[in-house]
Amino acid sequence: MLTKINETATFLAGKMQYLPKVGIILGTGLGELATQITERQEIPYQDIPNFPVSTVEGHSGKLIIGKLGTTQVLAMQGRFHYYEGYSMKEVTFPVRVMKALGVETLLVSNAAGGMNPDFEIGDLMIISDHINTFPEHPLRGKNEPSLGTRFPDMSQAYPASLRDMAKAIAAKHGIKVVEGVYVGTSGPTFETPAEYYYFRTIGGDAVGMSTVPEVIVAVHAGIRVFAMSIITDLGVAGKVVEVSHEEVQQIANQAQPKMTLIMKELIAKL
Ligand code: HPA
């Protein structure tokens, strides 16, 4: 794996004038931030050595490198989901490459189903913690000490310092944000009412099919993480309604200007 990471990082570094400080993984319908990257270069995943290729509708699959404000960023438009059939090593490979390129902070977004009864559709949730229910762990197998420690501490996976900065930015703009625990699950089914109830009972505020593997690998690598969910549907007792991928994308699109603003201003402060 080390050879592959270095090969990919070397390929990408060869295309960059400056190395990125901030990595961004843009989730469902959240591509707007990517359009604001200046001095940009786009590299389709299929042109990047060792990169898996994204397949799902609505995930276009390219790396965008350039600047947001004065900060050098590397953004993934389209991520690799476990439910697509990728292994956890593949799902998290881009985060390894980000680390090799010198990324210090990773910003992640996703769409998620809300289970906290105080949440409303369209809310932005700052992720304060997560619960990993994926059936495969991205760090399973021999640990490579140069990438990180065998038993990584996860007590501050989502540092309060970044969350506080985001909350202050949201308050300044009058943007409502909520905060909570994200349950990562494999999908691709949305939850049954009993599963939403179960995930709520074990301590979750929202549930989705991504983010947790990438965050685990980022924390292992010593990258600090900030992550946000758009609550696109509700799995609250008595309020569970039918969900479709199209509705999830539509709600995510409506909420994205607010998330874009928060992420952009946060990047300026990093
Ligand atoms: N469950 C899982 N993943 C999701 C959901 C959900 O309700 N909404 C958006 N992604």
Q: In this predicted model, what pLDDT tens digit does every residue of 185-196 receive, in sequence order?
A: 998 999 999 999
- Tell me what the mean pLDDT of segment 192-209 comes to: 95
Count Cα neighbours of 4 within 13 Å in the Cβ-side half-sphere. 13
Assess whether the C-beta atom of 190 lies below 6 angstroms from ligand 1. Answer: yes
Nearest CA to ligand 1 atom 9: 112
Does 99 score more than 60 pLDDT? yes
Separation of alpha carbons 181 and 140, rounded Å = 23
What six digits make up the tokens of 135?
A: 């059936």
Ligand 1 center to residue 182 CA distance, Å? 11
* pLDDT-above-90 percentage for the chain: 77
pLDDT at 127: 98
Q: Checking DSSP bridges between strand 177-184 and strand 124-132, what pairing results, if any?
A: parallel
Closest ligand 1 atom to residue 191 Cα is 1
Closest ligand 1 atom to 185 CA: 2
Least confident of 50-64, 174-188, 238-252: 50-64
**From the CB of 111, is ligand 1 less than 6 Å away?**
yes
> 24-38, 47-61, 245-259 — which is least confidently predicted?
47-61
> How confident is the prediction for the chain on average, in pLDDT?
92
Q: Which of 1-15, 30-44, 213-227 has the weakest average pLDDT?
A: 30-44
Residues 40 and 24: their CA atoms lie apart, in Å, by 14
Q: Which of 127, 186, 233 to mutate to test the pocket of ligand 1 (most atoms within 8 A of CB)?
A: 233
> Which amino acid type is present at position 3?
T
Does pLDDT of 30 surpass 80? no
Q: In the predicted model, is pLDDT for residue 262 greater than 90?
A: yes
Centre of ligand 1 to C-alpha 27, Å, is 12
- Cβ of 207 closer than 6 Å to ligand 1, yes or no, is yes
Q: How confident is the model at residue 29 (pLDDT cuts 50, 70, 90)?
A: low
Percent of the chain with pLDDT over 70: 96
| Segment holding 265, helix H or strand E | helix 245-269
User: Would you say residue 38 has pLDDT above 60?
Assistant: yes
Q: Which of 110, 189, 239, 243 to mutate to test the pocket of ligand 1 (most atoms within 8 A of CB)?
A: 243
* pLDDT beyond 80 at 54: no
Give DSSP secondary structure letters for 86-110: --HHHHHHHHHHHHHTT--EEEEEE
First to last CA, the chain: 30
Expressed in angstroms and rounded, the spacing between residue 209 Cα and the centre of ligand 1 is: 7
Residue 58, pLDDT score? 47
- Model confidence at 198: pLDDT above 70: yes
Cis peptide before 159 (omega within 30 of 0): no
Question: Which pLDDT band, with edges at 50, 70 and 90, does 60 fall under?
Answer: low
pLDDT of residue 238: 66
Is residue 232 within 6 Å of ligand 1 at its C-beta? yes
- Ligand 1 site, residue 112, Cβ cutoff 6 A: yes
